[in-house]
Amino acid sequence: MEIDGRKLGREAQERIRILAVRRVRAGERPSSVVKSYGLCRTTIYRWLRKARSGGEHRLRARKATGRPRRLTAAQEARVRRWLNGKDPRQYGFDFGLWTRQLVGRLIEERFDVELSVTSIGRLLWRMGISPQKPLRRAYERDPVAVARWVKEEFPRIRRRARQRRAIIFFLDEAGIRSDSSLGRTWAPRGQTPVVPVSGQRQAVNAISAVNERGGFWYATFTGRFNAGVFAGFLAKFLRHRRRPVFLIVDGHPAHRAKAIERFVLSTRGRLELYSLPGYSPDLNPDESVWAHIKTHGLSKRPLLRNESLRERVESDLAAIRSRPALVRSFFRAPSVAYITN
């Protein structure tokens, strides 16, 4: 019975070649040797010719060369520059997200080289580019203001906090709904799974504040969020705090209201309020609280029949408060690394 040598491992093929040649050199007949391995009769003569011309090292396994790459190293570097931080619309495409098909069209237009979708996937992987969910950035965002906050304003706030022995907190609000999207689960291909959930829609609002040392405060509420509601929360937040607090918030109108200015003045230095640049939620580590709630809360454990959304959210927030290490991890996200630098 003949054996297809291509189905053997590279090391096994190499070992058979070397042993076969050595047996022939020791006096055995080539036909008997190759027959004992169950290989094609003519195969051994090719091995013998290689051994005579270059020695046994020519029988060693070598990495297969494969097909030559269609793009040069310089062209691959250009492809990486095209994709790194760029938007397909900058190159005349209508779609705002990169796909392998779009990359292939761009390569064909610029280099006149046609690649399959699979080849483009291998190319991107080799360049260290992987498919990722992008973050949203508002057109109104001011890069200059963001850079100024990171390099000048926040360092100045931190220096002042040290002088006054104040604690810096970041605060944010969020709305949470019972019909938020579910996470993923496993099921047979083509059979979309069904998860029983309550048909009663519930909504609750929450406010929280985080500190890079693991401090965490929260409250829940229903109804509109306005200056009066915010002032009430600030009073609760300051209760029993002995050290001054520097609170960093976003540009919500309730945060900038005259009533809040008056409240801050009434604290006589116990509270100072600072605003992040506009349209920059990524600079606020408290955003990670809501991402954690939505990712590990309702998306993984939908509400049970007659279960209260408010009680569930309060339970999830209390669980975060009991884990200071988790709160500190919110400050390790790349977008808020400026806080701990």
Strands 245-249 and 216-221: unpaired
Percent share of the chain, pLDDT over 70: 93
pLDDT digits (tens, 9 = 90+) for 133-177: 776 776 678 899 999 999 999 999 999 999 999 999 999 999 988
pLDDT for 260 equals 97
Q: Does domain 143-184+196-339 have CATH number 3.30.420.10?
A: yes
The C-alpha atoms of residue 28 and residue 17 are separated, in whole angstroms, by 14
The C-alpha atoms of residue 253 and residue 25 are separated, in whole angstroms, by 91
Least confident of 91-100, 133-142, 232-241: 133-142
- Is there a contact between 225 and 334 (Cβ–Cβ < 8 Å)? no
Residue 4's pLDDT band (boundaries 50, 70, 90)? low
The C-alpha atoms of residue 208 and residue 171 are separated, in whole angstroms, by 6
Residue 63's pLDDT band (boundaries 50, 70, 90)? low
pLDDT for 341 equals 81
pLDDT for 144 equals 93
Asked whether the whole model's pTM tops 0.85, one would answer no
Residues 6+ apart with CB under 8 A from 134: 97
Half-sphere exposure of 127 (CA within 13 A, CB side): 23
Torsion of CA 33, 37, 42, 44, to 10 degrees: -60
pLDDT digits (tens, 9 = 90+) for 268-311: 999 999 999 998 999 999 999 998 988 887 756 777 778 888 99
- What is the rounded average pLDDT for all residues in the chain? 88
Torsion of CA 221, 224, 228, 230, to 10 degrees: 50
